[in-house]
Chains A and B, each alone.
Chain A
Amino acid sequence: MATVGALDPEADKLAAVVALRELADQLEDAAVEQALAAGWSWTEVAQALGVTRQAVHKKHLGRVAGTGIDLRRRNG
């Protein structure tokens, strides 16, 4: 087996995948929060993300519940 190095061009590309996933997660957190703050419903956010309402709810409710965004009328 060829020796592989942590800074090989292949390793750089694979690490880029890791870094981009983290960046995408951070973008998702910010975008969901901003949409909810702007009055979007959970269903609308889910449709825009292409996932189920349950999935987006499960992933973000605990996080955004403490932000002061009024979530009472976001049951749709």
Chain B
Amino acid sequence: MSPEPASTFGAEMAELALPRQLRELGLRASVEARRRRAGAVEAEHVLLAILADPASIAGARLTAAGLGYEVLSAALDGERERSLSAAGIAAGNAPRFTAAPRVIPRGWGASVRDLLRRADKPAARDGRPGALELELAAAILRAELGTVPRALLVAGVERAALIEALLP
């Protein structure tokens, strides 16, 4: 990770420094987390933010390989339904609560902390546009456990093919 000072978009966010190239992505990921009413910014929100960015090389490669924003969003809904059903809450029966959204999600979730720790250091120093974002997206897709691999399995999306499309 780059020795850049912490990002400044909220005291909670400041506890984990983001490489300069990822700050804007971090902000957009927190918007995605808020949109999905999540308590923290997790790997799936980073991936959604990458897919939502029309200028992102990683996003374009994944979309072309079949993982567009809407596909991931629906896959995450499917994963949530499956998880709640394991707790006895039937699909479509989960209550929806209306409330003002939290001002910002409460910081980085464990999945993002783990990602940033594992983020490839050469990629972090690589000045080429999108190099770190490509590496980050690949790291998210390489995870064997957690919400993203579950969502992709539920949706029948092949992770290996996505990683191949991302880093040919």
Instruction: Spell out A's residues near B (CB within 8 Å).
Output: 4, 6-7, 9, 11-13, 15-23, 25-27, 29-33, 62-64, 66-67
Contact = CB atoms under 8 A, between A and B. Distances in A.
A32 B99 CA distance: 9
B150 A15 contact: yes
Given A21-B39, A62-B103, A6 B97 contact: no
Judged by DSSP, the binding face of A is helix
Interface residues of B, number: 28
Given A23-B95, A25-B39, A26-B97, A7 B153 contact: yes
B100 A66 contact: yes
B103 A7 contact: no
A23 B145 contact: no
Given A11-B145, A15-B150, A33 B80 contact: no
Question: 5 tightest A-B contacts by CB?
Answer: A30-B97, A29-B99, A16-B87, A15-B83, A12-B86
A27 B87 contact: no
B40 to A, nearest CB: 10
Contacts of B89: 23
B97 A29 contact: yes
Interface string B125-160: 000000000000000000011110110011000000
A76 B80 CA distance: 39
B146 A6 contact: yes
A15 B98 contact: no
B150 A27 contact: no
Given A22-B38, A25-B39, A12 B82 contact: yes
B5 interface: no
Given A11-B150, A15-B86, A20-B84, 5 more contacts: A6-B145, A18-B83, A19-B87, A23-B89, A26-B99
